[in-house]
A = this chain, B = another copy of it.
Amino acid sequence: VKDLPKRIITALVFGVIVIGSVLGGQYTFSLLVTAIAIFGLKEFYGFCKLNNNSFNSGWIVPLGVTAFLLFIAYFNGLISARYLFVATVFPFLVMITELYRNKNNPLNNISAAIMGWVYVLIPLILWGWSAFSLNSEGVFILDKKYILGYLVVIWCSDTGAYFSGITFGKSKLFERISPKKTWEGLIGGLVLAVVAAVVIDKYAYHSVLDLTDWIVIAVIIVVAGTFGDLIESMMKRSVGVKDSGNLLPGHGGILDRFDSLFISAPFVFVYLLITGRIF
Protein backbone atom coordinates (compact mmCIF):
# COMPACT_ATOMS: atom_id res chain seq x y z
CA VAL A 1 0.00 0.00 0.00
CA LYS A 2 2.70 2.45 -1.06
CA ASP A 3 0.29 5.34 -1.65
CA LEU A 4 -1.25 5.14 1.82
CA PRO A 5 -0.09 8.64 2.89
CA LYS A 6 -1.56 10.11 -0.30
CA ARG A 7 -4.78 8.19 0.27
CA ILE A 8 -5.04 9.45 3.84
CA ILE A 9 -4.40 13.07 2.91
CA THR A 10 -6.96 12.88 0.10
CA ALA A 11 -9.48 11.26 2.43
CA LEU A 12 -8.97 13.96 5.04
CA VAL A 13 -9.23 16.85 2.61
CA PHE A 14 -12.26 15.25 0.93
CA GLY A 15 -13.87 14.53 4.31
CA VAL A 16 -13.38 18.11 5.47
CA ILE A 17 -14.91 19.48 2.26
CA VAL A 18 -17.91 17.14 2.51
CA ILE A 19 -18.55 17.70 6.23
CA GLY A 20 -17.98 21.44 5.85
CA SER A 21 -20.54 21.56 3.04
CA VAL A 22 -23.11 19.82 5.21
CA LEU A 23 -22.45 22.01 8.24
CA GLY A 24 -22.53 25.09 6.03
CA GLY A 25 -26.27 24.57 5.53
CA GLN A 26 -28.70 24.05 2.72
CA TYR A 27 -26.89 26.09 0.07
CA THR A 28 -23.42 24.58 0.52
CA PHE A 29 -25.01 21.12 0.76
CA SER A 30 -26.91 21.81 -2.46
CA LEU A 31 -23.64 22.84 -4.08
CA LEU A 32 -21.97 19.64 -2.84
CA VAL A 33 -24.59 17.27 -4.26
CA THR A 34 -24.69 19.21 -7.52
CA ALA A 35 -20.91 18.85 -7.81
CA ILE A 36 -21.17 15.11 -7.10
CA ALA A 37 -23.90 14.88 -9.76
CA ILE A 38 -21.81 16.67 -12.40
CA PHE A 39 -18.60 14.69 -11.77
CA GLY A 40 -20.58 11.45 -11.45
CA LEU A 41 -22.29 11.99 -14.81
CA LYS A 42 -19.01 12.83 -16.51
CA GLU A 43 -17.39 9.67 -15.14
CA PHE A 44 -20.35 7.50 -16.08
CA TYR A 45 -20.39 8.78 -19.65
CA GLY A 46 -16.64 8.17 -19.74
CA PHE A 47 -17.42 4.47 -19.16
CA CYS A 48 -20.03 4.52 -21.89
CA LYS A 49 -17.66 6.00 -24.43
CA LEU A 50 -15.23 3.14 -23.75
CA ASN A 51 -18.22 0.92 -24.39
CA ASN A 52 -18.64 2.36 -27.90
CA ASN A 53 -21.71 4.32 -26.95
CA SER A 54 -21.68 7.66 -28.67
CA PHE A 55 -23.36 10.77 -27.44
CA ASN A 56 -22.98 14.45 -27.14
CA SER A 57 -22.02 14.93 -23.47
CA GLY A 58 -22.18 18.68 -24.06
CA TRP A 59 -25.94 18.24 -24.26
CA ILE A 60 -26.68 15.16 -22.12
CA VAL A 61 -24.80 16.38 -19.02
CA PRO A 62 -26.27 19.92 -18.93
CA LEU A 63 -29.76 18.55 -19.56
CA GLY A 64 -29.38 16.04 -16.72
CA VAL A 65 -27.94 18.73 -14.44
CA THR A 66 -30.90 20.98 -15.28
CA ALA A 67 -33.27 18.21 -14.16
CA PHE A 68 -31.21 17.84 -11.00
CA LEU A 69 -31.29 21.58 -10.32
CA LEU A 70 -35.09 21.58 -10.56
CA PHE A 71 -35.11 19.25 -7.56
CA ILE A 72 -32.48 21.31 -5.73
CA ALA A 73 -34.56 24.43 -6.34
CA TYR A 74 -37.61 22.59 -5.00
CA PHE A 75 -35.79 21.48 -1.83
CA ASN A 76 -34.64 25.04 -1.26
CA GLY A 77 -38.20 26.34 -1.52
CA LEU A 78 -37.61 28.21 -4.78
CA ILE A 79 -40.16 26.37 -6.96
CA SER A 80 -43.23 24.27 -6.27
CA ALA A 81 -43.39 20.49 -6.82
CA ARG A 82 -45.39 20.80 -10.03
CA TYR A 83 -42.39 22.13 -11.95
CA LEU A 84 -40.41 18.96 -11.22
CA PHE A 85 -42.52 17.26 -13.86
CA VAL A 86 -40.90 19.41 -16.55
CA ALA A 87 -37.99 16.96 -16.34
CA THR A 88 -40.23 14.17 -17.67
CA VAL A 89 -39.77 15.48 -21.22
CA PHE A 90 -35.96 15.42 -21.01
CA PRO A 91 -35.50 11.75 -22.00
CA PHE A 92 -37.69 12.43 -25.03
CA LEU A 93 -35.58 15.46 -25.98
CA VAL A 94 -32.58 13.10 -25.99
CA MET A 95 -34.44 10.75 -28.34
CA ILE A 96 -35.35 13.64 -30.66
CA THR A 97 -31.79 14.99 -30.82
CA GLU A 98 -30.47 11.47 -31.54
CA LEU A 99 -32.39 11.63 -34.84
CA TYR A 100 -30.06 14.36 -36.09
CA ARG A 101 -26.81 12.74 -34.99
CA ASN A 102 -26.72 9.90 -37.51
CA LYS A 103 -24.54 7.64 -35.34
CA ASN A 104 -24.37 3.87 -35.12
CA ASN A 105 -26.71 2.10 -32.76
CA PRO A 106 -28.97 4.97 -31.67
CA LEU A 107 -30.90 2.61 -29.38
CA ASN A 108 -27.82 1.95 -27.22
CA ASN A 109 -26.76 5.61 -27.31
CA ILE A 110 -30.11 6.85 -26.01
CA SER A 111 -30.30 4.04 -23.45
CA ALA A 112 -26.84 4.80 -22.04
CA ALA A 113 -27.59 8.53 -21.83
CA ILE A 114 -30.76 7.88 -19.83
CA MET A 115 -29.09 5.18 -17.72
CA GLY A 116 -26.51 7.77 -16.58
CA TRP A 117 -29.28 10.03 -15.31
CA VAL A 118 -30.97 7.14 -13.51
CA TYR A 119 -27.78 5.78 -11.95
CA VAL A 120 -26.28 9.09 -10.84
CA LEU A 121 -29.15 11.54 -10.40
CA ILE A 122 -31.99 9.49 -8.87
CA PRO A 123 -29.95 8.40 -5.80
CA LEU A 124 -28.64 11.92 -5.19
CA ILE A 125 -32.14 13.38 -5.59
CA LEU A 126 -33.60 10.84 -3.15
CA TRP A 127 -30.72 11.37 -0.70
CA GLY A 128 -31.33 15.10 -0.78
CA TRP A 129 -35.09 14.65 -0.64
CA SER A 130 -34.88 12.55 2.55
CA ALA A 131 -32.36 15.01 4.06
CA PHE A 132 -34.72 17.94 3.46
CA SER A 133 -37.93 16.09 4.43
CA LEU A 134 -37.04 14.71 7.85
CA ASN A 135 -37.98 17.15 10.58
CA SER A 136 -39.97 19.27 8.19
CA GLU A 137 -43.62 20.21 8.52
CA GLY A 138 -44.42 21.32 5.01
CA VAL A 139 -41.31 23.53 4.78
CA PHE A 140 -38.07 21.78 3.84
CA ILE A 141 -35.22 22.07 6.35
CA LEU A 142 -31.86 20.41 5.77
CA ASP A 143 -31.38 17.71 8.41
CA LYS A 144 -27.63 17.93 9.00
CA LYS A 145 -27.60 15.20 11.66
CA TYR A 146 -29.17 12.73 9.26
CA ILE A 147 -26.69 13.47 6.46
CA LEU A 148 -23.69 13.41 8.79
CA GLY A 149 -24.96 10.18 10.40
CA TYR A 150 -25.40 8.64 6.95
CA LEU A 151 -21.84 9.60 5.97
CA VAL A 152 -20.39 8.33 9.27
CA VAL A 153 -22.14 4.98 8.75
CA ILE A 154 -20.75 4.74 5.18
CA TRP A 155 -17.23 5.57 6.34
CA CYS A 156 -17.41 3.14 9.30
CA SER A 157 -18.71 0.43 6.99
CA ASP A 158 -15.82 1.01 4.56
CA THR A 159 -13.24 1.15 7.36
CA GLY A 160 -14.61 -1.93 9.14
CA ALA A 161 -14.69 -3.86 5.86
CA TYR A 162 -11.13 -2.82 4.98
CA PHE A 163 -9.49 -3.81 8.27
CA SER A 164 -11.62 -6.89 8.85
CA GLY A 165 -10.95 -7.96 5.26
CA ILE A 166 -7.15 -7.68 5.48
CA THR A 167 -7.12 -9.32 8.94
CA PHE A 168 -9.64 -12.16 8.65
CA GLY A 169 -10.47 -12.20 4.92
CA LYS A 170 -10.74 -15.76 3.57
CA SER A 171 -14.11 -16.56 1.97
CA LYS A 172 -14.58 -14.82 -1.35
CA LEU A 173 -17.80 -12.79 -1.60
CA PHE A 174 -18.16 -12.41 -5.39
CA GLU A 175 -14.87 -13.44 -6.96
CA ARG A 176 -15.92 -13.05 -10.60
CA ILE A 177 -16.57 -9.34 -10.18
CA SER A 178 -14.55 -8.19 -7.18
CA PRO A 179 -11.79 -10.69 -6.35
CA LYS A 180 -10.61 -8.88 -3.23
CA LYS A 181 -13.94 -8.72 -1.42
CA THR A 182 -14.57 -11.28 1.34
CA TRP A 183 -17.48 -12.25 3.58
CA GLU A 184 -15.28 -11.46 6.57
CA GLY A 185 -14.83 -7.92 5.23
CA LEU A 186 -18.57 -7.55 4.74
CA ILE A 187 -19.28 -8.74 8.29
CA GLY A 188 -16.61 -6.43 9.74
CA GLY A 189 -18.19 -3.53 7.84
CA LEU A 190 -21.63 -4.49 9.10
CA VAL A 191 -20.45 -4.67 12.71
CA LEU A 192 -18.73 -1.28 12.65
CA ALA A 193 -21.68 0.31 10.81
CA VAL A 194 -24.15 -0.97 13.41
CA VAL A 195 -21.86 0.19 16.25
CA ALA A 196 -21.80 3.61 14.55
CA ALA A 197 -25.61 3.57 14.34
CA VAL A 198 -25.90 2.83 18.07
CA VAL A 199 -23.41 5.57 18.96
CA ILE A 200 -25.16 8.08 16.67
CA ASP A 201 -28.51 7.32 18.27
CA LYS A 202 -27.07 7.61 21.80
CA TYR A 203 -25.06 10.81 21.41
CA ALA A 204 -26.81 12.70 18.63
CA TYR A 205 -30.49 12.88 19.55
CA HIS A 206 -32.71 12.88 16.48
CA SER A 207 -36.32 13.96 16.81
CA VAL A 208 -37.61 11.60 14.09
CA LEU A 209 -35.18 8.68 13.80
CA ASP A 210 -34.89 6.24 16.69
CA LEU A 211 -32.39 3.43 17.37
CA THR A 212 -34.25 0.92 15.16
CA ASP A 213 -34.25 3.40 12.27
CA TRP A 214 -30.52 4.02 12.56
CA ILE A 215 -29.76 0.27 12.70
CA VAL A 216 -31.99 -0.42 9.68
CA ILE A 217 -30.32 2.46 7.82
CA ALA A 218 -26.89 1.03 8.70
CA VAL A 219 -27.85 -2.45 7.49
CA ILE A 220 -29.27 -1.04 4.23
CA ILE A 221 -26.13 1.03 3.70
CA VAL A 222 -23.87 -2.00 4.18
CA VAL A 223 -25.94 -4.45 2.11
CA ALA A 224 -27.05 -2.10 -0.67
CA GLY A 225 -23.66 -0.41 -0.49
CA THR A 226 -21.90 -3.72 -1.13
CA PHE A 227 -24.16 -4.29 -4.12
CA GLY A 228 -23.37 -0.74 -5.20
CA ASP A 229 -19.67 -1.50 -5.07
CA LEU A 230 -20.15 -4.72 -7.04
CA ILE A 231 -22.35 -3.00 -9.63
CA GLU A 232 -19.76 -0.32 -10.20
CA SER A 233 -17.03 -2.99 -10.46
CA MET A 234 -19.18 -4.89 -12.97
CA MET A 235 -19.59 -1.76 -15.09
CA LYS A 236 -15.88 -0.93 -14.90
CA ARG A 237 -14.92 -4.53 -15.74
CA SER A 238 -17.36 -4.46 -18.64
CA VAL A 239 -15.52 -1.51 -20.21
CA GLY A 240 -12.02 -2.43 -18.97
CA VAL A 241 -11.13 0.33 -16.51
CA LYS A 242 -9.95 0.13 -12.90
CA ASP A 243 -11.10 3.48 -11.51
CA SER A 244 -14.01 5.63 -12.57
CA GLY A 245 -11.77 8.68 -12.68
CA ASN A 246 -8.83 10.36 -10.99
CA LEU A 247 -10.55 13.26 -9.27
CA LEU A 248 -9.45 12.00 -5.84
CA PRO A 249 -5.77 10.93 -5.88
CA GLY A 250 -5.46 7.38 -4.53
CA HIS A 251 -9.24 6.97 -4.35
CA GLY A 252 -10.22 6.97 -8.01
CA GLY A 253 -13.22 9.02 -9.00
CA ILE A 254 -16.47 10.23 -7.51
CA LEU A 255 -18.31 7.06 -8.56
CA ASP A 256 -15.68 4.95 -6.74
CA ARG A 257 -15.97 7.04 -3.62
CA PHE A 258 -19.78 7.18 -3.55
CA ASP A 259 -20.60 3.77 -5.04
CA SER A 260 -22.39 2.67 -1.87
CA LEU A 261 -24.41 5.89 -1.69
CA PHE A 262 -25.68 5.41 -5.25
CA ILE A 263 -27.43 2.14 -4.42
CA SER A 264 -28.26 2.61 -0.73
CA ALA A 265 -29.96 6.01 -1.03
CA PRO A 266 -33.06 4.79 -2.94
CA PHE A 267 -33.60 1.90 -0.50
CA VAL A 268 -33.12 4.10 2.58
CA PHE A 269 -35.53 6.60 1.03
CA VAL A 270 -38.19 3.94 0.54
CA TYR A 271 -37.64 2.68 4.11
CA LEU A 272 -38.15 6.19 5.52
CA LEU A 273 -41.18 6.60 3.29
CA ILE A 274 -43.05 3.41 4.15
CA THR A 275 -42.36 3.85 7.87
CA GLY A 276 -43.81 7.36 7.67
CA ARG A 277 -40.56 9.08 8.69
CA ILE A 278 -40.80 11.38 5.67
CA PHE A 279 -43.86 12.90 3.92
Contacts and interface: CB of A to CB of B under 8 A. Distances in A.
A177 interface: yes
Interface residues of A, number: 50
Interface of A: 47-48, 51, 53, 82-83, 85-86, 88-89, 91-92, 95-96, 98-99, 102, 105-108, 110-112, 114-115, 118-119, 122-123, 126, 174, 176-177, 224, 227, 230-231, 234-235, 238-239, 263, 266-267, 269-270, 273-274, 279
A124 to B, nearest CB: 12
Contacts of A224: 92
Contact of A106 (B88, B110, B235): B235
Nearest to A233: B99
Contact residues of A: prevailing secondary structure: helix
Number of copies: 2
A89 B267 contact: yes
Contacts of A269: 85, 88
A270 B107 contact: no
B122 A273 contact: no
Contacts of A174: 99
Contact of A234 (B47, B106, B114, B267): B106
Contacts of A98: 231, 234
29 contacts: A48-B107, A51-B105, A51-B108, A82-B273, A85-B270, A86-B274, A88-B126, A89-B266, A89-B267, A89-B270, A91-B119, A92-B224, A92-B263, A92-B266, A95-B263, A96-B231, A96-B263, A98-B234, A99-B227, A99-B230, A99-B231, A99-B234, A106-B235, A106-B238, A107-B112, A107-B235, A107-B238, A107-B239, A108-B111
